[in-house]
Structure 1
Amino acid sequence: MRVWEKASGAIKDRNSIWVAKFSRKGPFHNPDLETVIIKATSHDNHHIDMKNMQRVFQWLRTSPLYLKPLIWALSMRMQKTRSWVVALKGLMLIHGVFCCDIPAVQRMGRLPFDLSNFSDGHLSPAKAWSFNTFVRGYFAYLDQRSAFVSSEFKSKQKKNDKEVEVVETLMEELEKLQKLQGLIDMLLQIRPRNENLNIGLILEAMDCVIVEVFGVYSKFCNRIAKVLMRIYEVGGRVEASIGLKILQKAAIQGEELSLFFDFCKDIGVLNASQCPKVERISMEDIQDLERIISGTSTNKGNGVANDEDKAIVLRDCSSSLANFSPQKESENGLMTVITHQWEVFDDDVIMAGAKGMHCVSNGAKATGIATNPFVESYSIVPYIPAHTQPLPDLISF
Structure 2
Amino acid sequence: MASMQSWRKAYGAIKDTTTVSLANINSDFKDLDVAIVKATNHVECPPKERHLRKIAAATSIARPRADIAYCIHALSRRLSKTRNWIVALKTLVVVHRLLREGDPTFREELLNFTQRILQLSNFKDDSSPIAWDCSAWVRTYGQFLEERLECFRILKYDVEAERLSKQGQGPEKGHSRTRDLDSQDLLEQLPALQQLLYRLVGCRPEGAANNNYLVQYALALVLKESFKIYCAINDGIINLVDKFFEMARHEALKALEIYRRAGQQAGNLSDFYENCRGLELARNFQFPTLREPPQTFLVTMEEYVRDAPRMVPVREPLEFPERLLLTYKPEESEEVPEPDPVEEERPPVEEPVPVQPIPEVVSPPTKTVVADTGDLLGLNDPSPGVSAIEESNALALAIVTSVLFASVCIRRKHFNNWQHCLAR
Confirm or deny a common fold (TM above 0.5).
yes
2:274 is matched with: 262
Give the partner amino acid of 2:124. Answer: S
Structure possessing the higher relative contact order (Cα contacts under 8 Å, 6 or more residues apart): 1
Give the partner amino acid of 2:6. Answer: V
265-274 or 40-49, which deviates more: 265-274
Aligned pairs for 1:193-204 (under 5 A) are 193-204=206-217
1:95 is matched with: 96
1:82 is matched with: 83
Change (3 A) 1:7 1:58: same
Q: CA contact under 8 A between 1:115 and 1:136: conserved in structure 2?
A: yes
Q: CA contact under 8 A between 2:12 and 2:42: conserved in structure 1?
A: yes
Give the partner amino acid of 1:185. Answer: Y
Looking at structure 2, the residues matched to 218 and 51 of structure 1 have their Cα atoms a distance apart, in angstroms, of 33
Change (3 A) 1:271 1:246: farther
TM (norm. structure 2) is 0.61
Quote the offset at 1:72 in angstroms.
Answer: 1.1
| Secondary structure at the counterpart of residue 230 of structure 1 | helix
- 1:282 equivalent to 2:294? Answer yes
2:262 is matched with: 250
- 1:32 equivalent to 2:31? Answer yes
2:224 is matched with: 211
Per-residue CA deviation, residues 82-119 of structure 1 (Å, 9 max, x unaligned), is: 11001001111111121225145146337335322101
2:42 is matched with: 43
Unaligned runs of 5+ in 1: 155-166, 310-397
Give the partner amino acid of 1:52. Answer: H
Unaligned runs of 5+ in 2: 158-179, 308-411
Looking at structure 1, the residues matched to 239 and 35 of structure 2 have their Cα atoms a distance apart, in angstroms, of 43
Change (3 A) 1:24 1:60: closer
RMSD: 3.0
Give the partner amino acid of 1:298. Answer: H
1:70 is matched with: 71
State the aligned residue count. 289
Give the partner amino acid of 2:36. Answer: I
- 1:173 equivalent to 2:186? Answer yes
- 1:228 equivalent to 2:241? Answer yes
Change (3 A) 1:23 1:267: same
Give the partner amino acid of 1:130. Answer: D
91-100 or 266-275, which deviates more: 266-275
1:111 is matched with: 116
Change (3 A) 1:75 1:50: same
Quote the offset at 1:134 in angstroms.
Answer: 0.6
List, as ranges, runs of 4+ consecutive aligned residues in structure 1 with deviation greater than 4 Å: 304-309
Aligned-residue identity in percent: 26
2:133 is matched with: 130
Give the partner amino acid of 1:108. Answer: L
Q: Which has the higher helix share?
A: 2
| Secondary structure at the counterpart of residue 60 of structure 2 | helix
Quote the offset at 1:59 in angstroms.
Answer: 2.9
Give the partner amino acid of 1:116. Answer: S
TM (norm. structure 1) is 0.65
Q: CA contact under 8 A between 1:98 and 1:106: conserved in structure 2?
A: no
